[in-house]
Every structure is written in structure tokens, then in C-alpha cells.
Structure 1
Amino acid sequence: MKILFISLGVLLLAFIVVQLYAMNAQRSIETYPYVVNKKYVTFEIRSYEASLFTSVKLSTKEFKEASSKGFSILAGYIFGGNEKNEKISMTSPVAMSLEDSMTVMFLVPKKFNKETLPQPSESQIEFRNEPAKTVAAITFGGWANDTKIEKYKEKLKVALDAEGIKYTNRFYYLGYNPPFEVFNRKNEVIVELQSENRDLIKK
């Protein structure tokens, strides 16, 4: 019995250490820069800067398959799977386009541009310039799955319709936490807005 309690104590200590490490890592990681233009009850309007991403397009619309395969391919690149065997810092969030063929994207750290990024070993990986954009964003916790993402996508659409804010069909999922992080998990669904909303979204 004593050995059992010691083993459980060691496991609990290891769990706490991993969670503290994960939370500390999140505070120091480079993130996709934006400003909040206006807050509503269930969502907010944001303006994102033009940014560069590494991306991989997958022939699936299932979140679990796309996130697992896409993350693996892109993580291989930033962990050294490139012509220079160069490690590139992880960024946040991991973005996924919500389409029939999902595209998984990692933000490129600001110190790089298309010319200075090492070429990937994996031919599926592309460098993608995302222009500056205005979006609506809705946030939810826990672990994401297809059902949750669709639920919050529909909730966001209903809220935007109620406010008379026009949006495009370009929806994205944003995930902020590694799979092993348990507490304070953050997920978002965002959608690009149409340009004629400018007067509606002023502070």
C-alpha cells in the first residue's frame, strides 16, 4: 500500500510539473497579432496583421484527422525537417481552415520571411501570406472536436446575423494549447467579415 501511495504521489507531481511547464510556455510563445475593435456579449471583432504561415492542405474535413496529420507534418518542419536542419520556434495558435479540404497553418516567427525560411523537406508544406483581415471571434474551452466546432460556428453566425454584421464563408478554427495541457484550454472559431461592416464595428 505504501508503494502505491508513493507511486500515485510521483505521478501527481509529474502531472503538476507538466501543467506548470505548459502554462509557462504559453506565456512566452509568439502569437498571431491582433487588436480588439469591439466586444459583444458572445463574440468580439478583431483586426489581424498581415502574417506569414507555414501550411499544409489535407483532403479531409474531419477535425481529428486533419489536426493530427497536419500538426505532425508542420511540427516535423519546425523541429528540423528542412534543408538546413534548422529548428524554428513554435507559435500560437495553430489555425485550421474549416473547409471540405482543411488547411492547417503555423504562424511563422517575425524574424523570418519567405526568403529566409529554410525550404521544407516535406513537399506538401507551403508558405502562405495571410493578408490583414477583420474577423469575428467566439471562444470556447476544453478539447475541440467536430461537434463543438460546428456548434460554435453556428452560434457565431446566429450572433452576427442578430447584429446585422455581414460575414464571408471563410471560417477558421484556432487552437491555443498542446494536447497534454489540461487547465485553461482555449479554442476559437473566427470568420472573416465583409468590408462593408466598417461603420458597425467601430469602438
Structure 2
Amino acid sequence: MKLIDIPGQVAESLLSIVGIRVGTEEPHYLSTELTDGVVIRRYGPRIAAETTVAGDEDRARNIGFRRLAGYIFGANHRDETIAMTAPVGQQSADTIAMTAPVAQSRTADDKWVIRFFMPSKWSMETLPEPDDDKVKLVPVSGETVAVLRFSGDRSPQAVAHHVEQLRKILLDNDIEVAGDPVAWFYDPPWTLPFRRRNEVAIPITPGESGAQTNRDG
């Protein structure tokens, strides 16, 4: 039987209210500034746990989050806990096989793929198999994306607004778009809106660049 660190979980939940993510791993990337507020990121290959959910955007995100949280909290063939990572992503089911990012866009049948990225120490061979057959483990190819960060409202309307902002910036800078837009969410719903970290990203052709390169992640 696994021991659960209740005080630790409570402390992390309280800190997350103000947007503090304790020990949460993010996928590694190289970052280049394009403009004030927009960066180009280069991600390497990753592994994600994903699930497909039918319904409207917000409902699909909530259901998908619960399914994937179940997997990383022990609903797998080894009853093993996997560390939580950020961000959580959402992509239309119609484009998941065609584009590498986790995109957020509406389809005719309202099917969405929700993803958690796995910590870097795991491989496809070492990750435990999910108990829920609606949860799948998938490799995610490396990609180059332009990213715009925002806080506050993360409704479909807010995401669409920031996507259009980012599209205009890319057009103004002669950056070629190479795929569908992405929405990434780094904080739980109870985080104070002004402390939330949300991002929209659009895949671009590798080799597009901006200012000085930095190592982040």
C-alpha cells in the first residue's frame, strides 16, 4: 500500500492558489525572443498520456484532466505514482495525428484530445500501462512554436483572442505558420486568475528566429 503525503498535497494545493507550482517539471526547450511578449521555443521529443473526450471545450478539458490525473496518481498496472507536469494541453481529435502540438480548435463532432506530458525520466518502455483503456501513451515529435503568454481568463473566447494576436505578430514578422494553434494551461482552476500562466502557441517552420537564444524549461 502506498503512503500518501496528505500535508504535502495540502500545502501544494494552497500554493497553487497563487500560481506557485512546487516541483512541477516542464518540458525542456530552447527559447528565442521574437518581440516583446512573444518567444520562439524549440522542444525536443516528449511522451504524453492522452485521452479523447466528446463535448464542448471546457467540459472536455475537465473530463480529460480527471482521467489523466487518475493515471498519474496510480490508476495504472503498477499502482505507481507519476509526478505531475505542466502544461496541460488540448487538441482537436481531427488534427492530433497530423500536427505535433497540443492544439485547441473546434471540430464538427466536438471531439478533443487532452494531454499530460510525462516527466523526462520516463520512456515508452518504462511507463506503466494505464488501467483505463481511454488513456493512451503516445510519443510526441520535437517541434518549433511561437508562444504568447497571458494570464486571467482562459475561456474559449479568450484563447481565440490571443491566438489572433499571435497570428498577427507572426504575419507582421514574416514568420511562416506550420500547423494549428495550441493552448497550454499551467495552473489548476482554483488558481487566482491574475496569477494563472496560460499560453497560446503556433507551430512554425524550423529555422525561424528572433533575438538572443536562452535555455529554459
Q: Does 1:192 align with 2:203?
A: yes
Residue of 87, 90, 104 corresponding to 2:81? 87
Tell me, which stretches of 5 or more residues in structure 2 are unaligned? 1-10, 92-103, 213-217
Q: Does 1:149 align with 2:149?
A: no
Q: Give the secondary-structure state (helix, strand or coil) at the position aligned to 2:179.
A: strand
Look up the match of 2:112.
102
Pair 1:77–1:199, CA change in 2 (3 A):
closer
The AA in structure 1 aligned to 2:147 is A
More helix by share: 1
Please give the alpha-carbon distance, in whole angstroms, between the structure 2 residues aligned to 1:199 and 1:44: 11
Residue of 182, 199, 205 corresponding to 1:172? 182
Within a 5 Å distance, the mapping from 1:115-134 to structure 2 comes to: 115-134=125-144
Q: Does 1:73 align with 2:83?
A: no
Contact 1:19–1:181 (CA<8 Å) still a contact in 2?
Answer: no
Pair 1:27–1:40, CA change in 2 (3 A):
farther
The AA in structure 2 aligned to 1:104 is I
Pair 1:49–1:22, CA change in 2 (3 A):
farther
Please give the alpha-carbon distance, in whole angstroms, between the structure 1 residues aligned to 2:185 and 2:197: 7
Pair 1:153–1:79, CA change in 2 (3 A):
same
Residues 135-163 of structure 1 show CA distances to partners (whole Å, capped at 9, x for unaligned) of: 00011101411100110111111111111
Residues 42-91 of structure 1 show CA distances to partners (whole Å, capped at 9, x for unaligned) of: 4111111211111112234x331121011011011111111111111111
Contact 1:171–1:189 (CA<8 Å) still a contact in 2?
Answer: yes
RMSD: 2.2
Give the alignment's TM-score, normalised by structure 1. Answer: 0.82
Contact 2:34–2:210 (CA<8 Å) still a contact in 1?
Answer: no
- Tell which structure's C-alpha radius of gyration is larger: 1
Please give the alpha-carbon distance, in whole angstroms, between the structure 1 residues aligned to 2:135 and 2:12: 34
Q: Does 1:37 align with 2:35?
A: no
Q: Does 1:64 align with 2:64?
A: no
Please give the alpha-carbon distance, in whole angstroms, between the structure 1 residues aligned to 2:20 and 2:204: 32
Pair 1:199–1:28, CA change in 2 (3 A):
closer
Greater displacement, 92-101 / 47-56: 92-101
Pair 1:126–1:166, CA change in 2 (3 A):
same
The AA in structure 1 aligned to 2:198 is N
Q: Relative CO higher for 1 or 2, CA cutoff 8 Å, sep ≥ 6?
A: 2
Give the drift of 1:34: 1.1
The AA in structure 2 aligned to 1:174 is W
Q: Give the secondary-structure state (helix, strand or coil) at the position aligned to 2:65.
A: helix
Greater displacement, 42-51 / 66-75: 42-51
Q: Give the secondary-structure state (helix, strand or coil) at the position aligned to 1:142.
A: coil
Q: Give the secondary-structure state (helix, strand or coil) at the position aligned to 1:91.
A: coil
Aligned residues: 185
